[in-house]
Chain A
Amino acid sequence: GAVVSQHPSWVICKSGTSVKIECRSLDFQATTMFWYRQFPKQSLMLMATSNEGSKATYEQGVEKDKFLINHASLTLSTLTVTSAHPEDSSFYICSAREPKLRGGPTYNEQFFGPGTRLTVL
Chain B
Amino acid sequence: GNSVTQMEGPVTLSEEAFLTINCTYTATGYPSLFWYVQYPGEGLQLLLKATKADDKGSNKGFEATYRKETTSFHLEKGSVQVSDSAVYFCALSAGFQKLVFGTGTRLLVSP
Binding site for B on A (CB under 8 A): 1, 6, 34, 41-44, 46, 49, 93, 95, 100, 105-115, 117
Contacts and interface: CB of A to CB of B under 8 A. Distances in A.
A108 B104 contact: no
A108 B45 CA distance: 14
A44 B98 CA distance: 12
Interface of B: 32, 34, 36, 41-46, 49, 51, 89, 93, 95-99, 101-104, 106
A43 B89 contact: yes
A44 B93 CA distance: 14
**Ranked 7 nearest A-B pairs via Cβ:** A107-B32, A108-B93, A115-B43, A114-B43, A112-B44, A112-B43, A43-B103
A49 B89 contact: no
B99 A42 contact: no
A67 to B, nearest CB: 17
Contacts of B98: 34, 46, 49, 108
A110 B45 CA distance: 10
Contacts, number: 58
Given A110-B99, A115-B43, A105 B51 contact: yes
Contacts of A111: 46
Given A43-B103, A43-B104, A107 B45 contact: no
Contacts of B32: 106-108
A108 B99 CA distance: 8
Contacts of A42: 103-104
A109 B49 contact: yes
24 contacts: A34-B98, A41-B106, A42-B103, A43-B89, A43-B103, A44-B101, A95-B44, A95-B99, A105-B51, A106-B32, A106-B95, A106-B96, A107-B32, A107-B93, A108-B93, A108-B98, A108-B99, A109-B49, A110-B99, A112-B44, A112-B45, A114-B43, A115-B41, A115-B43
